[in-house]
Structure 1
């Protein structure tokens, strides 16, 4: 179709106006698109970083096993962070359990261990510490004990619990002198709601071959 100069000028003007309108539309739409992304990100729930919160383990291994890059946690009911939290709980429990003073009240002693143990173990510890014969002897001797703990071994892993072998090393001072004592414990750490807590413990040579029953008070 042949267009006169006048018609070509009119058509060119219409195209310029149309392109300008498209540019304005894209410029106005772009900020709203960028703003929608942060809103979507904020809607994603954020879990707390507390060490006691259990996390689901990753999926199993379907590809060929690579001995140089083998992630054993993908085959366990506990992920890496949860496993480390359980180990830390067992170690800190043994150290706290073996640290006490003759003038410390049973309630204060139990309160120090309370964050690390479930309710049943907490009650057993309180009763054991307050036993008249034990408390009277410690007061008479002015006994002060400090304890450190080392993780030795994983004895058993269950769907909801891990049993660690932990050695506690005590330095004990009394009015008549001082001494050192070392004892290995089998400490069961189990899921307790959204936390990992000691659910049982006893001397390692007694047993705990995978059970999560009542604990001892040593």
Structure 2
């Protein structure tokens, strides 16, 4: 195709403008792309979170100023807030009272269901196996045993990042073969973080000892 001098000049000018536009675009777009890549963190696949107890969301706030008896806040040094501590103490007390309350004519599943909301899944399974043991059921039914439990919080045995161990005295009013009696036993009750809540993790007679932290 034959072009006139004027047409060749116009074509040349058009090519120059097009190349200039492309150059400007590449100059502007490249930093933006690099900036976007560097601002976005590269993630790698992670394993699922542990189903066991998790630590506190943040460390205790601590105390930086002078310690004064009139304003000293012990919870600033503990891995549990006052609300969590209260919840844990309530759980330990209610659990001991509930596990000491049963009837010979009650379905063991009903007994276990009363404790289900207070304990971890693992402990619930252990309680269910104990409540359905033939020897225990036979004894309660043959002697028509009825027990009503109450509990007293005694003291804190240990505090760890994930758990608190309370010493709790369980008291029972027992009717056995028509005769009434009382019984009292102290337990070490571990309340631990279980996902987003607090649950009774373990319990045993206080004189048997018990490990503290659970996670």
Q: Residue 183 of structure 1 corresponds to which residue in structure 2? A: 185
Q: Residue 204 of structure 2 corresponds to which residue in structure 1? A: 202
Q: Residue 100 of structure 1 corresponds to which residue in structure 2? A: 102
Q: Per the alignment, in what secondary structure is the counterpart of residue 135 of structure 1?
A: helix
Show CA shifts across 1:85-133 (max 9, x none): 0000000000000000001111111000000000111011111011101
1:188 and 1:197 mapped to 2: Cα distance?
9
Q: Residue 119 of structure 2 corresponds to which residue in structure 1? A: 117
Q: Residue 82 of structure 1 corresponds to which residue in structure 2? A: 84
Moved over 4 A (4+): 54-58
1:64 and 1:55 mapped to 2: Cα distance?
26
1:205 and 1:193 mapped to 2: Cα distance?
29
- After superposition, the CA RMSD in angstroms is 1.6
Q: Per the alignment, in what secondary structure is the counterpart of residue 117 of structure 2?
A: helix
**Runs of 5+ in structure 1 lacking a partner?**
1-53, 214-218
Q: Which has the higher contact order (CA 8 A, sep 6+)?
A: 2
Q: 1:65 aligns with which of 64, 67, 71?
A: 67
Task: Give, in angstroms, the shift of residue 57 of structure 1.
Answer: 6.5
Task: Give, in angstroms, the shift of residue 175 of structure 1.
Answer: 1.9
Check conservation: 2:163, 2:213, Cα contact below 8 A: no
Q: Residue 170 of structure 1 corresponds to which residue in structure 2? A: 172
Aligned in 2, Cα 1:86/1:55: closer, same or farther, shift over 3 Å? farther
Check conservation: 2:100, 2:148, Cα contact below 8 A: yes
Aligned in 2, Cα 1:57/1:86: closer, same or farther, shift over 3 Å? farther
Check conservation: 1:200, 1:212, Cα contact below 8 A: no
2:175 and 2:84 mapped to 1: Cα distance?
37
TM-score, length of structure 2 as denominator length? 0.71
Bigger Rg over Cα: 2
Aligned length: 160
